Structure 1
């Protein structure tokens, strides 16, 4: 149940958003991801109405500092002060070369740092790729430039992890993730205390197997939200949406990048699970069995950006347990008003 919006509403919304910055304070600008989700799920008519509600959270586009060049880009990697410079760099690159070529070049450069900004940059990139696969035009190319630029500016690797015994399945391996505790609730501080994660799918090198295991991970993390989302109703969404963003990009990437993408996605999902795991799961049954279309309508009526994005991922998974997770996020999250 995905559609390519041919009404122009998505492209209009993206053009509106490209005058805004990728963040608001230290929080990510979720609007580009949400409007793409709504358009992909047959709700393009609601895109501008939702964006009007979200608009007070937007900030002005940041000022440039110094152009990023092919010679010095490594020095600017991970410097959020250079966000405008990075977006300008990718704007130029995408004007000169096909977008899949730019993506293939930069994906392995950016992949080690997908943990920055609570994984939002890679999630935004996954939405941009899906939009472009539906239709190539100027607003969608520009959105990929903004997404990749934000990823480069918030690039943050995770290194020095100790490998713990895992389990054969993604679900069991997520269950084996040890919870960590930090004095600060901030994402960077919590990420800094993640020191050990279970092994899972570490020996996968075949591209088709990597796709299958990544699909398994997205399903497991989405299902898990229904019983564990109360640990942190917002942040635990990313345990599912980050690997799903990677999965969405695979078909536009060279096959040799699929296995490394799986491994990075697992580390991201497991790290988020570690940072926000509740003390105990809860049994959860949705209040009603609803169709996918009805779940999308409930998410839209609720309005929270993470609810909409998790619902989008749940529809990719496509089973009753995934839809239950989406409904659980509706119950746990504060509506957008």
Structure 2
């Protein structure tokens, strides 16, 4: 990360003058993408990328009414209150350590992980990573307030309660998932099909979720890997939307070190439910070969995502590089998945 010029902090300050969404419902990916760029040594590209991206952003929505510790439940899941939520978390983070605020609100927000196609939890994951690795400077704390506020405003539980109690690994469970009947839909309309999709709930509940925190973290790591590799073969179902099946659980994984260990197992279970839902809604049924990444370095893979310029390609490459860093020597499948995202998103965007 860049700790001398403050590139990330400057970019976040620019972005905090814009709202979390634009064109009615599209998520502002700026804070997530610039954090990934700086994290991967591309700080020199941040402001140029942001100059182009910021043209489509919109102003911060007007505030409505003050959210308090006594009335917050009535505002949960109300996107009209997003600025009220940001102000609420800005006040809490001024009064308490950020880890304490996160520990209080994580279990409250976690059931609504599906909201806004999981973008809020992904934004939280990027914010937490920057706080953990680079310190608690003002713009980074402010970004956590914006991210938590967005999650609270877009809080949305899945339409079916998922209780994983089986013995399957993430790779096994993902491979067995059925697909919804109509995949050309918004996330909300896709989620609505899940309860009526034969085998979706039973397959989702077939996952083994250990209660031991360290084992749960290993399971979540395996889920991120399995979702990334699934994208390599099945991303052509929807090249943009399917990236979230990997980036959302990776955001949870990145947040675990800042959370009480008692929350880790439940975090894994909910991250899995979200990944399962997105996979069922957007993954192609039949696989296709992904581009071959043999002979390319992780840095070259990320550079291709940067050249593509799409925020989803950048964020997915960021996750794929995490997976590739932990892979056995010679295993380039995660890098191939990132190349596939660059190819598919270039076609769709």
Q: Is the shorter-chain TM-score for this pair beyond 0.5, marking a shared fold?
A: yes
Name the stretch that deviates more: 135-144 or 161-170.
161-170
1:315 match = 321
1:153 aligns to 2:165 (yes or no)? no
1:122 match = 121
1:72 match = 71
Partner Cα separation in structure 2 for residue 127 and residue 6 of structure 1: 20
Q: Is the 8 A contact 1:5 1:44 kept in 2?
A: no
2:8 match = 10
Query: Residues 167 and 273 from structure 1, CA distance in 2 versus in 1: closer, same or farther, beyond 3 angstroms?
Result: farther
User: CA-to-partner distance for each residue in 1:90-121, whole Å, 9 max, x for gaps?
Assistant: 00000000000000000000000010000000
1:181 aligns to 2:193 (yes or no)? no
1:223 match = 229
Q: Is the 8 A contact 2:164 2:209 kept in 1?
A: no
Matches within 5 A, 1:82-97: 82-97=81-96
Partner Cα separation in structure 1 for residue 302 and residue 79 of structure 2: 34
1:191 match = 191
Name the stretch that deviates more: 187-196 or 252-261.
187-196
Partner Cα separation in structure 2 for residue 244 and residue 118 of structure 1: 14
Gaps of 5+ in 2: none
Query: Residues 200 and 136 from structure 1, CA distance in 2 versus in 1: closer, same or farther, beyond 3 angstroms?
Result: farther
1:143 match = 143
1:246 match = 252
SS in 2 for 1:62: coil
Partner Cα separation in structure 1 for residue 115 and residue 208 of structure 2: 22
Q: Is the 8 A contact 2:168 2:208 kept in 1?
A: no
How many residues align? The count is: 335
Partner Cα separation in structure 2 for residue 285 and residue 27 of structure 1: 29
Q: Is the 8 A contact 1:110 1:151 kept in 2?
A: yes
1:21 aligns to 2:15 (yes or no)? no
1:35 aligns to 2:34 (yes or no)? yes
Provide TM-score, normalisation by structure 2.
0.92
1:283 match = 289
Q: CA RMSD in A?
A: 1.9
Q: Give the drift of 1:135.
A: 1.7
Q: Which residue, 246, 262, 269 being the options, matches 2:268?
A: 262
1:273 aligns to 2:279 (yes or no)? yes
